[in-house]
Structure 1
Amino acid sequence: MDNRQKPRIGISIGDTNGIGPEVVVKTLSDARILNFCTPVIYASAAVLQHTKAALKADYFNFVEVGTAHALVSRKVNLVSCIDADLPIETGTPTPFSGKASLSSLMAASADLKAGLLDGIVTAPINKDNIQADDFRFPGHTEFLTSYFDAADSLMLLVSGPLRVATATGHMALKDVASKLSEELIIRKLTILLESIQKDFGIQKPRIAVLGLNPHAGENGLLGTEETEIIRPAILKMKERGHLIFGPYPADGFFGVQQYKQVDAVLSMYHDQGLIPFKTLAMDNGVNYTAGLRIVRTSPDHGTAYDIAAKGLADETSFREALFLACDIIKKRTEV
């Protein structure tokens, strides 16, 4: 990206029957967004017009372009990639809305890979109805890691100085302990450290690592993963000169606000990290996929079918995801 240009941000629409279209329209209705980026929505005019009418958002406008090769500056661009006759059943997941979310994601990802975009913001998908022959992944993170040929990646939740990553991603809780290894912890910490340095500009980050078991295992009484896997990984990273601390009992760590003393936290599994994060930053949190050569962010909420197209969805998280993508793209160009 030329330093004089605004970043071109692709937006996959997510499940068309959820709140994705609503938070996208609400965010891009503020024309000031165009001072920071050139947004490119991957959907259809019918989906956007339906959402615009439902929200009575007469102030939302877009220009339809045939391809991302022909983007219009200072306009909200639309690349049509969804059937114009798509049945819209707001509030209900359907095979049609799942297929539409996949078409949008694939089109945006292809343009990102081709260099026509500088980053991507993904609206929420339904992880069940998006499944298809060419999509057998538990979520965006795993798909994008594969699509962009990365050896690994890291789910990193961001809200200002609060950054919480997960060592394991979308998997059943019963499988977490068997998945953990010293090598995995070291690999995830390495990605986290590099991202904090490259994407957030903190050259000597302080990282806290949570334990897996209650009370971080209580010296083996409540589990041995801390003594056999997590602590040895921390010690090896310390030997390499990194500021890595822990393992901490997760409840006490967040309870006494120790997260304020570090630049990032590595949790062991999804809910261990995301429950406290969303408690602290539900409205403005952002999901960032660290470790990829491309920039991808998303809001930290789901499809919320129960409130879709009722004007109740809060667009703050999506707006923050858009701004964070712009910030990281700029940060990377400065390196």
Structure 2
Amino acid sequence: MKKEEKIIVGISIGDLNGVGAEILLKIFEDSRMLDFFTPVIFASIKTMTFVKNHFNLDVNLNSVQSHNQVLQGKVNVFNCWKENVDISFGKEDPKIGAYAIQSLEAATKALKDGDVDVLVTAPINKSNIQSETFKFPGHTDYLNQELEGDSLMFMVTDTLRVGLLTDHVPVKDIASHISPALITKKIETVYDSLKKDFRIRKPRIAVLGINPHTGDNGVIGKEDDVVMRPTLQKIKESGKLVFGPYAADSFFGSNNYKNFDAIIAAYHDQGLIPFKTLSFGQGVNFTAGLNKVRTSPDHGTAYEIAGKGTADTGSFKEALFTAVSIFNNRREYEELHKNPLAVSKRKRFEDQKRA
């Protein structure tokens, strides 16, 4: 498909019994969104029309069967299936989970083929997506297999970015998963992403300890002294501005996080609880480290409010804009490094503003 000036955002529909489709169509009720990018929703026109009518939303949908039918200025719906889907808001249903995966696989193929520029994924239910052919705990693990690179869950807002050493790992197994090689690899991924995706020239990264109080000199565990500190010291010696390990219990409450461009937590809840507390409704889940851009909102299917028309659009809207921003930053970074003498349009604009 021939690329137009506006980038094309592919959107997998997620769990249709949740809030994803509702939020998506609410966002595109505002036609000004189409000034920024061209959306392609992977579902079916029948399904999206049902959702539109259920919530009485005023949004025009453009049904397409192939990517060369995608139009700018339209909310495009790529038809992944033809049959009617039995949607029961708030209900966990493996049949609905199968449609979520059908949408994800079609959107990922379009991303790999270059038919869409970035991917934004609506929330799924990690339980009802499991099958003989799909045995991944979530989007990130699946995309790590399908795309080039090495994925890292990176939760981001304009002012806070939190990456994880381990993500969907049982608490009892966390310490055994963390090794010098893993720490080095994850820090490298975050460092690289901050430079390419967020335009930070010399990133400052904080790393949280594995144990309470970073082990208290071995009293509450030795992993921070034996594994974490020596590894961070080697990374510092290579020239990167990496600091820690910091005791996680006071790090966010003391506002120390504001001194860094990113924080790397040892495990899921250590990083995501403070992140969502500080930014819930505006946070974005970005999969760093891959050769393609993928984002998602920071919430789940929210079955408890599905179908009621009360779901907030904030995080999903941020996920859309963040995907576009990262895509543009990454493209600009690549162009500048192909020609080091080139000056970006954005820099010229910023210079003109300062003048």
Q: Which runs of 5+ in 2 are unaligned?
A: 334-355
Shift of 1:83: 4.3
Q: Residue 161 of structure 1 aligns to a residue in which SS?
A: coil
Per-residue CA distance 1:272-305 (angstroms, 9 max, x = gap) = 1000000001110000000000000000100011
Separation (CA, whole Å) in 2 of partners of 1:216 and 1:239:
21
Per-residue CA distance 1:47-96 (angstroms, 9 max, x = gap) = 21221122111x21110011123210111100011343221111101111
- Return the letter of the residue paired with 2:125: N
Separation (CA, whole Å) in 2 of partners of 1:204 and 1:144:
28
Tell me how large the CA RMSD over aligned residues is.
1.4
Per-residue CA distance 1:297-324 (angstroms, 9 max, x = gap) = 0001000111012111111100000000
- Return the letter of the residue paired with 2:297: P
Q: Please give the residue correspondences for 1:36-55 in structure 2 after superposition, counting only pairs within 5 Å.
A: 36-55=36-55
Residues 286 and 9 (structure 1), Cα distance of their counterparts in 2 relative to 1, 3 Å cut: same
Which of 269, 272, 276 is residue 270 of structure 2 equivalent to?
272
Q: Which runs of 5+ in 1 are unaligned?
A: none
Separation (CA, whole Å) in 1 of partners of 2:205 and 2:14:
32
- Normalised by the size of structure 2, how large is the TM-score? 0.92
Separation (CA, whole Å) in 2 of partners of 1:62 and 1:52:
9
CA contact under 8 A between 1:86 and 1:96: conserved in structure 2?
A: no
CA contact under 8 A between 2:189 and 2:289: conserved in structure 1?
A: yes
> Rg: which structure is higher?
2
Shift of 1:45: 1.6
Provide the residue aligned with 1:307 in structure 2.
305
Q: Residue 131 of structure 1 aligns to a residue in which SS?
A: coil
CA contact under 8 A between 2:97 and 2:128: conserved in structure 1?
A: yes
Q: Residue 229 of structure 2 aligns to a residue in which SS?
A: helix
Q: Please give the residue correspondences for 1:65-76 in structure 2 after superposition, counting only pairs within 5 Å.
A: 65-76=64-75
Give aligned-pair identity as a percent. Answer: 49
Shift of 1:201: 0.3
Shift of 1:133: 2.4
- Normalised by the size of structure 1, how large is the TM-score? 0.97
Separation (CA, whole Å) in 2 of partners of 1:210 and 1:82:
45
Separation (CA, whole Å) in 1 of partners of 2:285 and 2:174:
21
Per-residue CA distance 1:1-54 (angstroms, 9 max, x = gap) = 999711100000000101111111111211111111000000112221221122
Provide the residue aligned with 2:63 in structure 1.
64
Q: Residue 165 of structure 1 aligns to a residue in which SS?
A: strand
Separation (CA, whole Å) in 2 of partners of 1:197 and 1:65:
37
Q: Residue 314 of structure 1 aligns to a residue in which SS?
A: coil
Residues 259 and 201 (structure 1), Cα distance of their counterparts in 2 relative to 1, 3 Å cut: same
Q: Residue 296 of structure 1 aligns to a residue in which SS?
A: strand
CA contact under 8 A between 2:148 and 2:291: conserved in structure 1?
A: no
Separation (CA, whole Å) in 1 of partners of 2:322 and 2:306:
24
Aligned length: 333
CA contact under 8 A between 1:14 and 1:122: conserved in structure 2?
A: yes
Provide the residue aligned with 2:325 in structure 1.
327
CA contact under 8 A between 2:166 and 2:268: conserved in structure 1?
A: yes
Separation (CA, whole Å) in 1 of partners of 2:4 and 2:226:
51
Shift of 1:222: 0.7
- Return the letter of the residue paired with 1:121: V
- Return the letter of the residue paired with 1:26: K
